[in-house]
Each structure stands twice: as structure tokens, then as C-alpha cells.
Structure 1
Amino acid sequence: MLNGYITTQEAAQKWNISARQVQILCKNNRIEGAVQINRIWLIPANVSKPTNTYKYQSQHGL
């Protein structure tokens, strides 16, 4: 892609999460410097994986 940026697929492989999860993080402004061009998210290559990527809440109170 562009110099200094990676795609959601590349970030997913780098961070060991799904590409969809990376898209959600971008949409929720959890990845600093991520920009959307048309339908493609571009993520700065040097950015680190956000902490607490999953916000799971048990429905059983456990």
C-alpha cells in the first residue's frame, strides 16, 4: 500500500487477531493514526496493538 501504512489484513496477521476485529478497532478510533480511504482502512505500520481488544461481558454474571 502506501509507505508507512499497512492494511487491516496485515495488521491482523501482525497482532494475531481477525481482520474484522481490526476494522472494528479502526471504526471505534482505537488505533491511533488509522485512516479510511473509500472502504479501505490504512494503519500506521509502527503502531502497536491496542490493549483490551475484546470487551466481553458475561451474561451469566461470572
Structure 2
Amino acid sequence: MFEYMTAGEAAALWKISVRRVQRLCKENRIEGVLNINRVWLIPKEAKKPDDAQRRKE
């Protein structure tokens, strides 16, 4: 069985805002997310996506 965390738990773990996590989920930038009754469920093993605004060198 998969283990999930909420957007609030992911935000605390990744040190970003809840709104940013919700946006990442909506943009399908986090693999395996589920949206059930307007609650985002994120797999516990999911990695924080790279910031698309930062240049990789």
C-alpha cells in the first residue's frame, strides 16, 4: 500500500509554502499525486521538483 502526505506536510518537509506545493501538483511536476475532494495526496517518497527558474550550470 502506498503512503501519502498532504500538501501541508510536503511543504514543511521541503521548506516551501503550501500554495507552492499545490501549484506543483496542479502542474503535474510531482509524480504520483492524487487529488481527492480538493486535497492533494503526495507519495511520501516523492522528491521535491527542481526549480524551473534557476539555471543549471
Higher RCO (CA < 8 A, seq sep 6+): 2
- TM-score range normalised by the length of the shorter chain: 0.7 to 0.9
Q: TM-score, normalised by structure 1?
A: 0.79
Distance 2:37 2:12 in 1: 22
Count of equivalent residues: 53
Which has the larger Rg?
1
1:20 CA drift (Å)? 0.3
* Identity rate, percent: 53
**Aligned-residue offset at 1:15:** 0.2
Cα root mean square deviation, aligned: 1.6
Unaligned runs of 5+ in 1: 57-62
> Runs of 5+ in structure 2 lacking a partner?
none
TM-score between both structures, scaled by the size of structure 2? 0.86
